[in-house]
């Protein structure tokens, strides 16, 4: 064919098109990115699970630490009361001032204004300014300020300054019983006395305030967790007797220019301490303004040589061991005796005296003669039995056990010296407790200062019962010694301890103090008197001790015995103890109540048993009508019936409980409300009931 083109071969099937390299790279990148995102998501999920679930608590704590500050506020301490429920220590609300430094722009300016309102010193102002500049969410400015200062700071309306309500310890009776009660610090922790000894009981559980801040550490509010109040402590002290003891001691220390002094008043049948007074003293509300030496409770912490009051112990041992009788004549050697090469002289020389007069006239020579019969072993045994050489266990901080060397370390002179109160160190409380054993018929009672502990509802959590430690002498010995000790007051060295209407048994003491040379001073001494009243039915043991009295007449019988008499009068009146000559008062009320008052009662023979109260087997079964009688007449009748008398008011009996005609039994408390004539006239006639 003309000009025909050659046939082209049939094309082969076309090969599949291949993607460009760029497109493939993009695809791989997207796949890798998706894989990474998937892995990242898994990681985030796992991490969130770890944070939110596994480590939730740890991060919560860390967040709280960064954004919260917990401030512990002291709990409200329980009250301390006397035996009749009168407040000796309480907790009252007080405002504390705090600051939030992140909210304060001018730290120096606010510190200056606050210092002026709070009466701060220059150094305190500088310290406060430094605190306000710190990068913290919370700082204290001043805690537990006076109401006036709190009001002044509130009026300033400063940025970043706030208030929290705390509580502080307040002692409404100021110095009264300060050494027994002690004091609490700014953080409400007990630091002395009962406040310290029973701090765990009194303190309670602290309140918590949680202060929160935002991310910029700005305060955003706070929450509070309330505190739990502490328990109430009821002491054995009687506020009125404590006041009388401190008043008389203060007067005596001032008049005699003594360095200090102590008065102890206790109930011999129970060992309860009714008063414990010290001078010098302090106000626990401002304890920091006093020298720390004034905080010391001399009655339990100070050990001193007792002098002649210790002759009571020697006499008790000699009578119990039957080495002497009360009327046996003792050779007093003209007031002088030589022992182990040492000459010992009496202040007032005597030739021969009956043993009762040896005690009444306080002859050292006569007591040494009797102690030589008794012997070292017996004297040491009785001295320890009466509680010397060991703490009484009263529970007050800083109590001393005194000083009594082992028998193996006694010198040839020790028997003679200890017999009249030298070469031995005792505390005032030890001596009062030992004389209490003579007063109650022979039992050494453990001194008690706490009566009971109560919860916030007034329920008794723990009660402290009388504890008889041991019998030290038999009742017959105690009775004989009591009769001898009454002679000290009737015609001996203790005549100024006499209390009108009552028979007093006791002993004077004038103990020389050791001077800087190690010898007994001719000028400095401790003047003492210890005794009990009424002698035949003792209700009170009272010890008075004056440290280094000055003046021409400064012996124990001249300066300490009168204090005993005044304290005893006030305490007997407070307790409505009938006088020893009250028999005629009972007859005034009618023949049904004639007769003497009950005699003294001795503790149970079981040393672990509580001391029983007086019984009155023949007492009437019904309450008589006492209205219109004087307090003394009514108290005598009630005491004769075995009742415990509580008086209120003044004047004659206007009302009574139990009512006339009510069934009674010994040991029941009889409350007598006293009033003037108008009140008595308004009462129903006697015998017609109330």
Active-site amino acid positions: 308
Q: How far apart are CA 111 and CA 131, in angstroms?
A: 9
Q: 579, 597, 588: which is closest to 534 by C-alpha? A: 579
Q: Are 72 and 140 in contact (CB under 8 A)?
A: no
Q: Are 299 and 391 in contact (CB under 8 A)?
A: no
Q: 577, 384, 600: which is closest to 479 by C-alpha? A: 600
State both tokens at 473: 């002498």
Work out the burial of residue 274: count CB atoms within 10 Å of its CB; fewer than 13 is exposed, 13-18 middle, 19 or more buried: buried
Q: Are 374 and 321 in contact (CB under 8 A)?
A: yes
Which DSSP helix (H) or strand (E) runs through 145? strand 139-145
* CA angle centred on 145, ends 211 and 98, rounded to 5°: 20
Q: 126, 123, 95, 101: which is closest to 111 by C-alpha? A: 126
Residue 415 CB partners (closer than 8 Å, separation 6+):
371, 372, 375, 376, 379
Query: Which stretches of 71-121 are DSSP H helices?
Result: 107-118
Strand order in the sheet with 207-213: 68-73, 207-213, 219-225
The residue assigned the tokens 């030298």 is 422
Which DSSP helix (H) or strand (E) runs through 131? helix 122-132
Q: How many residues are listed for the chain in this entry? A: 690
Q: Across 24-67, where does the E strand assignment appear?
A: none
Beta bridge partners of 90: 170
State both tokens at 450: 């706490």
């Amino acid at each position: 064919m003309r000009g025909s083109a050659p046939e082209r071969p049939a094309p082969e099937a076309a090969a599949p098109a291949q993607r460009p390299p760029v497109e493939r790279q993009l695809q791989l990148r997207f796949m890798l990115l998706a894989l990474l995102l998937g892995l990242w998501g898994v990681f985030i999920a796992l991490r969130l699970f770890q944070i939110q679930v596994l480590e939730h608590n740890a991060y919560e704590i860390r967040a709280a630490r960064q954004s919260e500050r917990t401030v512990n506020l002291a709990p409200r301490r329980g009250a301390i009361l006397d035996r009749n429920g009168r407040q000796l220590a309480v907790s009252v609300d007080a405002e504390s001032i705090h600051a939030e430094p992140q909210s304060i722009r001018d730290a120096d300016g606010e510190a200056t204004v606050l210092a002026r309102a709070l009466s701060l010193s220059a150094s305190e102002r500088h310290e406060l300014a430094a605190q306000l500049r710190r990068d913290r969410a919370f700082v204290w400015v001043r805690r537990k300020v006076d109401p006036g200062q709190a009001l002044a700071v509130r009026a300033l309306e400063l940025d970043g300054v706030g208030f929290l309500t705390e509580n502080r310890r307040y002692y409404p009776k100021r110095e009264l019983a300060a050494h027994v009660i002690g004091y609490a610090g700014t953080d409400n922790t007990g630091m002395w006395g009962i406040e310290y000894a029973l701090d765990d009981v009194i303190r309670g559980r602290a309140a918590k305030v949680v202060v929160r801040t935002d991310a910029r550490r700005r305060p955003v509010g706070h929450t509070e967790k309330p505190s739990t109040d502490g328990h109430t402590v009821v002491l054995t002290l009687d506020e009125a007797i404590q006041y009388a003891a401190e008043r008389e001691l203060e007067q005596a220390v001032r008049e005699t220019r003594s360095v200090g002094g102590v008065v102890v008043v206790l109930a011999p049948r129970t060992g309860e301490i009714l008063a414990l007074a010290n001078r010098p003293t302090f106000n626990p509300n401002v304890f920091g303004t006093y020298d720390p030496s004034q905080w010391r409770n001399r009655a339990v912490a100070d050990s001193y040589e007792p002098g002649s009051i210790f002759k009571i112990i020697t006499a008790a041992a000699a009578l119990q061991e039957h080495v002497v009788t009360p009327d046996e004549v003792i050779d007093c050697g003209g007031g002088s005796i030589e022992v182990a090469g040492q000459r010992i002289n009496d202040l007032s020389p005597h030739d021969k005296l009956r043993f009762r007069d040896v005690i009444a006239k306080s002859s050292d020579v006569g007591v040494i003669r009797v102690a030589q019969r008794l012997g070292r072993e017996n004297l040491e045994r009785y001295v320890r039995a009466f509680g010397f050489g060991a703490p009484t266990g009263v529970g007050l901080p800083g109590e001393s056990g005194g000083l009594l060397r082992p028998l193996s370390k006694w010198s040839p002179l020790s028997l003679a010296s200890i017999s009249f109160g030298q070469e031995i160190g005792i505390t005032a409380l030890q001596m009062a407790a030992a004389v209490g054993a003579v007063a109650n018929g022979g039992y050494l009672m453990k001194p008690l200062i706490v009566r009971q502990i109560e919860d916030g509802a007034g329920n008794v959590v723990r009660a402290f019962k009388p504890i008889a430690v041991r019998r030290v002498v038999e009742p017959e010995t105690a009775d004989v010694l009591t009769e001898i000790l009454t002679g000290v007051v009737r015609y001996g060295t203790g005549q100024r301890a006499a209390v009108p209407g009552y028979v007093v048994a006791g002993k004077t003491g004038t103990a020389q103090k050791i001077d800087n040379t190690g010898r007994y001073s001719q000028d400095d001494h401790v003047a003492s008197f210890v005794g009990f009243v009424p002698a035949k039915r003792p209700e009170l043991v009272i010890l008075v001790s004056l440290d280094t009295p000055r003046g021409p007449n400064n012996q124990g019988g001249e300066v300490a015995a009168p204090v005993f008499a005044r304290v005893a009068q006030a305490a007997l009146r407070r307790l409505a103890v009938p006088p020893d000559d009250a028999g005629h008062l009972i007859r005034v009320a009618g023949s049904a109540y004639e007769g003497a008052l009950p005699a003294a009662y001795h503790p149970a023979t079981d040393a672990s048993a509580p001391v029983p109260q007086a019984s009155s087997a023949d007492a009437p079964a019904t309450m008589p009508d006492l209205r219109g009688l004087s307090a003394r007449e009514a108290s005598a009748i009630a005491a004769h019936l075995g009742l415990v008398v509580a008086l209120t008011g003044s004047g004659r009996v206007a009302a009574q409980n139990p009512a006339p005609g009510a069934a009674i039994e010994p040991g029941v408390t009889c409350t007598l409300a006293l009033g003037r004539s108008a009140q008595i006239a308004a009462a129903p006639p006697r015998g017609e009931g109330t």
